[in-house]
Amino acid sequence: MAAPPKKAFALRLDPSLYAAVERIAAADLRSVNAQFECLLREALAKRGVKLEAPNPPRRGRPPKEDDDADA
C-alpha cells in the first residue's frame, strides 16, 4: 500500500535557525526536511500530542516472484 502524499508548504525561517537545523541534520545523516519532521514530532510528543507512527516508503528491490525461479 502506498503512503499518502506529504503536504508541501512554504516556511519562512530566520537564516540562523535554518543553518542550525542544517548542521544537526548533517550530523544525524538526515535531510533538512526529515530533521524538521523529527523535531516537530519530538516537540508534539513533549506536549502530549499523539500521532500515528510514520509510514516510510519501502526502499530497495521488490521481492522476487516464485515464477521467475523456474525460468
* Nearest Cα to Cα of residue 7 among 33, 28, 26: 33
C-alpha 46/C-alpha 44 separation (Å) is 5
Q: Is residue 5 part of a domain?
A: no
Cell of 37: 519532521
Residues of the chain short of pLDDT 70, as ranges, are: 1-4, 57, 67-71
Q: Is 27 contained in some domain?
A: yes
Q: How many domains does the chain have?
A: 1
Q: What percent of the chain has pLDDT over 70?
A: 85
The pTM for the full model equals: 0.66
User: Is residue 42 in some structural domain?
Assistant: yes
In this structure, is residue 1 part of a structural domain? no
